Amino acid sequence: MAGSSPARTAHLLALVVPVALLGGAYTSQYGFGLVPCEMCWWQRYPHFAAIGLGVLANVLPHPRARDAFAWAAAVAILASGLIGAFHAGVEYGWWQGITTCSTTQLGADPLAAILNAPLVRCDVAQWTLFGISLAGYNFLVSTGAALAIFALLTRARKGAA
C-alpha cells in the first residue's frame, strides 16, 4: 500500500501542504506585516497538527501506520480549510463571525500591551488577490489538498487489493 506511488505522493502532500501554508502565513505576518486575527490563528492550529502527522506518515516503518497518519493529516488539513471557508464567509459578509478580537502579547504591562496592540478585525480581509482573501486561499488549497490525499490513499488501497 504505502510503497505505491499514489500512497507515497499522499504521504508527501500530507507534510508539504501544511508546511507550505504555514510558511506562507508566517511570511505574510513577519515579512509583510499582516497581523493575524483570531480566526487566522484558528486556521493555523490544524496545520500544526498536520505537520506532526505528516512527519509520522513519512518516517514510520509500517505501511499501514504511514497511511493512517496520512489520513489523519488530511483530516487536519481539511479542518483548516473548512475554518478558512468560515472565515472567508465572514470577510465577504455572508454571515457573522466572532464578535471579539484578542491579543496574546501582554508582556510586563498588560494594559499598555492591550492599548498598543493592533486591532485586527476578523471581518475585514487584510489582503486579497483576484478578490480572494488569504482565508479563501487557505480554503481552496487545504480542501483541495485534503481531497487529493484522500483520493490517492483510496487509489493506493484499491491497487493493493
Number of domains in the chain: 1
Gyration radius of the chain's alpha carbons: 18
Range of the domain at 117: 5-160
> Over 60: is that where the pLDDT of 104 sits?
no
DSSP type of residue 132: E
Of 11-15, 58-62, 105-109, 153-157, which gets the smallest average pLDDT?
105-109
Please, which pLDDT band fits residue 6 given cuts at 50, 70 and 90? very high
Taken in order 106, 107, 111, 112, the sign of the CA dihedral is negative
pTM above 0.85, yes or no: no
pLDDT tens digits for range 113-145 = 666 666 677 777 787 789 888 889 999 999 999
Q: CATH number, domain at 72?
A: 1.20.1550
